[in-house]
């Protein structure tokens, strides 16, 4: 008979065999046996968050910046319900998370016991899969499977609910089996014919565009490299979704900037006018497409995605290639080069008119803004932050709102996994705990959360975590005292009735920083901004930077709701002339 281990020991043996170094969590009654076992496993470090949502987002930040799955450990009842936001966020943005939750002992399940909730029921729609382990015999197998499901195919969160008695019960341990096919879910293969079809479309196109997304990042560093090769080999322009930023260098001349609701004029117009759209690992999200009936009306659309259900979900495509981005790109480049080793040169004339057109759109300078010498413009703050940090390997997280869009527009990324933002779910309060996780995964790197003052207050308690583990994260708050994006929409749609979007009684962020035991800095004028940013960078402790910015600045350019790509608002003047009426008003 092989050696017997308690359920709690089995949990750690599984984590060790899965290569887990860090778990993010918060203890409670129903996970005490697991927490008790922690002391015997020195190679796994537990990071104590201040709220389970914070633990979840920290694990997301860890996963997105390291490429490894994030592990979360929470207790039953409120522990589990608190982590639901983070699980949903991870589900929307395809982040691999393994959440282990405690549950009341099996004989109490269904009795409305203290801190009992139907965890698997609640998390069913926000995980790829979840399990309630009712027998310690199934525990090891289930946890190994959980890691497999979270990390294969399109990644995502999973949850394993372990009743307290199972944590005490004893059984032998079984190691993970070699990766097998998962109901055919990872065994997705595309055909060479599809690649050939894509090459044919590439040859024919006079107005091509590559539109890349988070799938490139999820596919691994190699995929970003291959994307760069493809762009170079074709000479095509490329635009990226919010989640895809960093897969292609932001300062490269072939890069048109981000597309979508707050994307650049050139990217959106190129999407509208193109005759070939190659979607690489993106999902035709509504923030990208705008009005779907008028989305890129003249183009052949190619969609490369690992998730078959993404194909034809929102937009019908002409050619679907289901597979891992890296392997599809590898094949495409190989085939392209085999047929014509110098395609980008020979094809230059073919698309030169298209590039001229793009340059014209570019000359509009849609990211431009009127700078001021009195107040700090938020765009200017992000630009200065970029200029002063671009020579370091900097990791940026954000909260959600105007500051997030300004960060996406004005901070240029040239490497994948450096940009962590809540895109799908749009979770305010994501950035600070995510920065904690990013810093854990990248101990000696500069990690900055570009934040809004409203968002950051939602998870401010995690500063305490940063201080406890000496994580020198920088919280760069663009403070305009408004929920800026809410105010912008109220301006746009509700006749400037700023209902509840102003935060009165904000805390003094400098004093708050000191109260947490970190460093508080404040910049009020453009002159002092650079010095203060440099001071922040040079501080080897967590910093809250209160950057007082223009209170009424809005985020442009913008595709108003219900409008197609070619009807963008470029600035405040445009807005006056293009009032959103009727149908557009009810869309979000």
Partner 1 sequence: MSKARSAYSISNKKEKFDTHIIVVWVDNEAGVLARIAGLFSGRGYNIESLAVAEVDKKLNISRITIVTTGTPQVINQIRLQLKKLVPVHNVADFKREDKMVIFKEMALLKIVGKNGKRDRALKACKKFNPVILDKTNKSYVIQITALRREIDKMIINLKKFGLVSVSRTGAVAMTRGSEIFK
Tell me if 586 contacts partner 1 by CB under 8 A.
yes
Catalytic-role residue among 92, 261, 460, 485: 485
- Reduce the secondary structure of 436-448 to three states and give it as a string: HHHHHHCCCCEEE
Q: Residue 309, SS3?
A: helix
Contacts with 222 (C-beta within 8 Å, 6 or more apart), sequence order: 326
User: Binding to partner 1 by residue 494, rule CB under 8 A?
Assistant: no
Sign of the torsion formed by the C-alpha atoms of 140, 143, 149 and 151: negative
Helices 526-538 + 378-389 axis angle, to 10: 40
Query: Does an H or E element contain 4, and which?
Result: strand 4-6
Q: How far is the CB of 579 from partner 1 (least distance, A)?
A: 16
Q: Which is nearer to partner 1, 1 or 588 (CB)?
A: 588
Q: How far is the CB of 129 from partner 1 (least distance, A)?
A: 4
Q: Which of 4, 110, 121, 346 binds partner 1 (CB under 8 A)?
A: 121
120 contributes a contact to partner 1 by CB under 8 A:
yes
Q: Residue 251: is it exposed, middle or buried by C-beta count within 10 angstroms (0-12/13-18/19+)? A: exposed
User: Given the rule CB under 8 A, which of 45-53, 385-393, 480-488, 577-585 is the region that contacts partner 1?
Assistant: 577-585
Token reading at 389: 């940090």
- Span from 4-12, 302-310, 328-336, 351-359 in contact with partner 1 (CB under 8 A): 302-310
Least spacing, CB of residue 561 vs partner 1, in Å: 7
Coil, strand, or helix at residue 129? Answer: strand
Site for partner 1 (CB under 8 A): which residue of 45, 137, 141, 185? 185
Contact between 588 and partner 1 (CB under 8 A)? yes
Question: Is 144 or 287 the residue whose CB approaches partner 1 more closely?
Answer: 287
Interface pick for partner 1 out of 110, 200, 292, 298 (rule CB under 8 A): 292
Shortest Cβ distance from residue 158 to partner 1 (Å)?
9
Nearer to partner 1, 191 or 309 (CB): 309
Per DSSP, 177 falls in state P
Q: Is 373 in the site for partner 1 (CB under 8 A)?
A: no
Residue 518 Cβ vs partner 1, minimum distance, rounded to whole Å: 38
Min. distance of Cβ 286 from partner 1 in angstroms? 4
Quickly list DSSP for 38-87.
GGG-TTSEEEE-SSHHHHHHHHHHHHHHHSSPEEEEE-STHHHHHTHHHH
164 is catalytic: yes
The size of the chain, in residues, is 588
Nearest distance from C-beta of residue 493 to partner 1, angstroms: 13
Which lies closer to partner 1 via its Cβ, residue 135 or residue 387? 135
Q: What is the per-residue DSSP string for 430-480?
A: -HHHHHHHHHHHSTTSEEEEEEEHHHHHHSGGGHHHHHHTT---EEEEEE-
Q: How far is CA 337 from the centre of its chain?
A: 33
Q: Which of 165, 275, 307, 574 touches partner 1 by CB under 8 A?
A: 307
- What is the separation of C-alpha 111 from the centre of its chain, rounded to a whole number of angstroms? 39
Residue 121 C-beta: closest distance to partner 1, Å: 7
Please give the size of the binding site for partner 1, defined by CB under 8 A: 34
442 neighbors 65 (Cβ within 8 angstroms): yes
> Which range binds partner 1 by CB under 8 A, 8-16, 31-39, 540-548, 578-586?
578-586
The C-alpha atoms of residue 255 and residue 221 are separated, in whole angstroms, by: 18
Site for partner 1 in 21-60 (CB under 8 A): none
Distance CA 443, CA 426 (A): 27
**CB nearer partner 1, residue 81 or residue 503:** 81
**Contact string 122-151 vs partner 1 (x = CB under 8 A):** --xx--xx--x----------------x--
In whole angstroms, give the CA distance from residue 498 to residue 585: 16
Shortest approach of partner 1 to residue 313 CB, angstroms?
A: 6
Tell me if residue 485 is catalytic. Answer: yes
Q: Return all residues near 577 (Cβ < 8 A) that are at least 6 apart.
A: none
**E strands present in 471-576:** 474-479, 519-523, 543-548
From 16, 114, 200, 511, active-site residue: 114
114 is catalytic: yes
Instruction: Report in angstroms how near the CB of residue 138 gets to partner 1 at its nearest.
Output: 11
Of the residues 13, 145, 164, 532, only one is catalytic, namely 164
Cα–Cα distances in Å, from 441 out to 16, 61, 435, 447? 17, 8, 10, 11
Cα separation of 484 and 490, whole Å?
10
Q: Cβ of residue 428: shortest distance to partner 1, in angstroms?
A: 18
Range in contact with partner 1 (rule: CB under 8 A) among 27-35, 274-282, 369-377, 579-587: 579-587
| Site membership for partner 1, residue 583 (CB under 8 A) | yes
Distances (CA, A) of 472 to 183, 404, 411, 439, 508: 44, 21, 20, 8, 20
Least Cα distance to 509 among 433, 455, 555, 567 occurs for 455
Q: Is 244 in the site for partner 1 (CB under 8 A)?
A: no
**Pairwise CA distance, residues 464 & 429, whole Å:** 15
CA dist 504 and 523 (Å) reads: 20
Task: Tell me the per-residue interface mask from 308 to 327 with partner 1, x by CB under 8 A, - otherwise.
Answer: xx-xxxx-x-----------
Integer Rg of the chain from CA: 25
Of 290 and 401, the one with the shorter C-beta distance to partner 1 is 290
The verdict on 366 binding partner 1 (CB under 8 A) reads no
297 binds partner 1 (CB under 8 A): no
User: Which residues have C-beta within 8 Å of that of residue 559, sequence separation ≥ 6?
Assistant: 260, 261, 262, 263, 268, 290, 565, 567, 568, 569
Site string for partner 1, 523-562 (x = CB under 8 A): --------------------------------------xx
Mark residues 65-104: x for contact with partner 1 by CB under 8 A, - for none.
----------------------------------------
Known catalytic residues are 52, 114-115, 164, 485
**Interacting residues with partner 1 (CB under 8 A):** 120-121, 124-125, 128-129, 132, 149, 182-183, 185, 286-287, 289-293, 307-309, 311-314, 316, 561-562, 582-583, 585-588
């Amino acid at each position: 008979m092989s050696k017997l281990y308690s359920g709690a020991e089995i949990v750690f043996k599984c984590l060790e065999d899965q290569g887990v170094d860090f778990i993010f969590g918060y203890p409670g009654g129903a996970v005490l046996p697991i927490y008790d076992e922690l002391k015997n496993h020195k190679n796994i470090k537990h990071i104590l968050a201040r709220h389970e949502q914070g633990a979840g987002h920290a694990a997301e930040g860890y996963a997105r910046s390291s490429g490894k799955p994030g592990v979360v450990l929470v207790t039953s009842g409120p522990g589990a319900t608190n982590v639901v936001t983070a699980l949903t966020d991870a589900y929307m943005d395809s982040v691999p998370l393994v959440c282990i939750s405690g549950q009341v002992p099996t004989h109490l399940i269904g009795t409305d016991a203290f801190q009992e909730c139907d965890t698997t029921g609640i998390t069913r729609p926000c995980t790829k899969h979840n399990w309630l382990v009712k027998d310690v015999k199934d525990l090891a197998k289930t946890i190994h499977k959980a890691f497999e499901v979270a990390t294969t195919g399109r990644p995502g969160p999973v949850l394993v609910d372990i009743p307290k008695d199972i944590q005490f019960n004893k059984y032998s341990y079984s190691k993970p089996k070699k990766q097998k096919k998962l109901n055919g879910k990872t065994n997705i293969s595309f055909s060479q014919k599809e690649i050939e079809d894509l090459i044919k479309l590439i040859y024919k196109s006079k107005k091509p565009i590559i539109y890349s997304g988070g799938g490139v990042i999820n596919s691994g560093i190699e995929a970003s490299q291959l994307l760069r090769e493809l762009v170079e080999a074709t000479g095509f322009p490329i635009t990226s979704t919010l989640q895809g930023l960093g897969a292609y260098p932001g300062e490269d001349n072939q890069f048109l900037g981000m597309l979508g609701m707050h994307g650049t004029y050139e990217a959106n117009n190129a999407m509208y006018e193109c005759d070939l759209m190659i979607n690489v690992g993106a999902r035709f999200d509504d923030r990208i497409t705008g009005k779907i009936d008028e989305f890129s009306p003249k183009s052949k659309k190619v969609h490369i995605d690992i998730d078959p259900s993404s194909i034809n979900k929102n937009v019908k495509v002409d050619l679907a290639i289901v597979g891992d981005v890296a392997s599809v790109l590898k094949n495409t480049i190989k085939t392209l080069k085999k047929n014509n080793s110098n395609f980008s040169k020979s094809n230059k004339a073919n698309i030169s008119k298209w590039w001229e057109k793009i340059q014209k759109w570019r000359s509009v300078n849609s990211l431009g803004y009127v700078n001021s010498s009195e107040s700090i413009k938020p765009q200017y703050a992000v630009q200065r932050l970029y200029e002063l940090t671009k020579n370091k390997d900097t990791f940026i997280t954000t909260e959600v709102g105007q500051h997030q869009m300004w960060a996406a527009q004005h901070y240029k990324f040239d490497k994948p996994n450096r940009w962590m933002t809540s895109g799908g779910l749009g979770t305010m309060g994501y950035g600070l705990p995510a920065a904690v996780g990013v810093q854990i995964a990248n101990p000696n790197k500069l990690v900055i959360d570009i934040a809004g003052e409203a968002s950051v207050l939602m998870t401010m308690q995690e500063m305490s975590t940063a201080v406890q583990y000496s994580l020198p994260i920088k919280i760069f708050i663009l403070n305009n005292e408004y929920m800026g994006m809410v105010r912008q929409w109220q301006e746009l749609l509700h006749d400037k009735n700023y209902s509840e979007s102003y935060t009165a009684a904000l805390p003094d962020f400098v004093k708050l920083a000191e109260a947490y035991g970190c460093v508080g800095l404040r910049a009020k004028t453009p002159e002092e901004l650079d010095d203060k940013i440099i001071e922040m960078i040079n501080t080897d402790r967590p910093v809250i930077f209160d950057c007082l910015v223009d209170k009424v600045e809005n985020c442009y350019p913008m595709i108003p709701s219900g409008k197609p790509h070619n009807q963008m608002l470029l600035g405040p003047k445009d807005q006056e002339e293009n009032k959103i009426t009727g149908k557009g008003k009810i869309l979000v």
